[in-house]
Structure 1
């Protein structure tokens, strides 16, 4: 397995992983502090996330100060009947896509969002309360948002995620099979797909022409299976130690990367939703140590 140095990045969620097994952005230290740790870990690109008080140009300049470049970021959307909320999601997708264009990043991930009180957060990774009508509305929302992103010249990459209305292999295939490839690409997260019992490598092979960028994760597959069987909720599963730094779990990262098509030019983004190391800084360093074994 070989990974291009100029196509390897990190989304450093370690810093925002809360004690309750969720994500809390207020936990993060200063952006400068995070960029320094990432740089010192030997990673040269970071998931794009332009702060609200900063322009894309200023963000790019700050990354450059630390020898870093921007990699694909992320936008979540949710089903809602409130037209005001729907417009907010449209506006956010357009804004983030415009930022990606300014940053020179041609791809961004597009996912369904999740809330703490959601049905699939209480019953994750099993396709809880599956409903074909809802799935079609999810598909339509993703297609609509993808078209907005495409209008900015950016490729939207569908990103299935546990805890949302698009988490299983069946739901992933339905979305990809019913939205034209000219509108929506594919941006799989090998960890979230594996948590839901999917074969992420086979999905990559089956939709090879649509894979734009991917998230690399490691996890405890035995724990994931146990959690599904015992009906643990999202946060309990995460707190039990589901995630770990690459090379510290038993996911087949090599098989996933090797499934990518020949000449793949997208980004591989390391993402550790909750670090297994004592501190976020140590977690990021472990990610860098793993990457150093494979970059070329």
Structure 2
């Protein structure tokens, strides 16, 4: 599948992958350095993520100064009975929608959040402790947050993620089947779905009219399978070499792309949670080479 060069972006998580198999934003180099490397790699867009202490206007200018445009960002929300925490989630959703509107990005990914001590981080990708009542609460939270995002003029796209209370194919289908399409679109991550043993391409075909944008990930399926069968935790699986740059693992990335609707006009966002290359810069360049080959 060939798509417009201007519709492939990157979420450069390579720079923030921490030695313990997690994510540490403090590891990232200065924004200008990141943007320069991304542009030099031949990429033309980047996942929207306005740094703390930076206005959305200044962020937009920094992108423009490096010849880059903004692509859909990502909002995680945590399931909580605490009224204050829930209110903060709604405020975050409204703020994220406002930022996307200023950046001219019409959609954003919406996922459940996770923490290092979460039950499914200890036992990921198998639907650990599945509970229908909790899943319905998850669905209700996603729908409520989606409503806030829609009110800001932005389309929220549900993004299943390993380690959260919405990670498996069954949970993905439940959310999409019980939240109206006019409220919540679909923003699959082929890598996280594959890690959980789901058929990401079939999900895209089944919900083709709701696919707004997607995350492109490659991975080593044998590691994912071994991790599920042997009960590895999230970080052990990542440190075992789960992720790779597109085209470097054994996931069927091209098959996933072929499953997208013929009239798909959303974003492909390349995301490597932990680079398999010598440096993050090498990883970003390899992502740029993959993008060039598919445009």
TM-score by structure 1 length?
0.99
Distance 1:117 1:4 in 2: 41
Shift of 1:52: 2.1
Shift of 1:231: 0.5
Shift of 1:35: 0.3
User: Counterparts in 2 of 1:219-234, with a 5 A limit?
Assistant: 219-234=219-234
Alignment partner of 1:26 is 2:26: yes
Shift of 1:219: 0.2
Q: SS of the residue aligned with 2:198?
A: coil
Provide the residue aligned with 1:166 in structure 2. 166
Distance 1:37 1:11 in 2: 13
Provide the residue aligned with 1:252 in structure 2. 252
Alignment partner of 1:51 is 2:51: yes
Distance 1:3 1:238 in 2: 30
Distance 2:294 2:87 in 1: 43
Provide the residue aligned with 2:241 in structure 1. 241
Gaps of 5+ in 2: none
Deviations 1:46-78 (A, max 9, x none): 000011212212111110000000000000001
Gaps of 5+ in 1: none
Q: SS of the residue aligned with 2:269?
A: strand
Shift of 1:4: 1.4
Q: SS of the residue aligned with 2:134?
A: helix
Provide the residue aligned with 2:280 in structure 1. 280
Distance 2:62 2:268 in 1: 22
Provide the residue aligned with 2:178 in structure 1. 178
Provide the residue aligned with 2:91 in structure 1. 91
The runs of at least 4 consecutive aligned structure 1 residues that moved more than 6 Å come to: none
Provide the residue aligned with 1:134 in structure 2. 134
Shift of 1:270: 0.0
Provide the residue aligned with 1:263 in structure 2. 263
Distance 1:165 1:77 in 2: 11
Distance 1:282 1:201 in 2: 28
Shift of 1:117: 0.3
Provide the residue aligned with 1:193 in structure 2. 193
Distance 1:3 1:197 in 2: 27
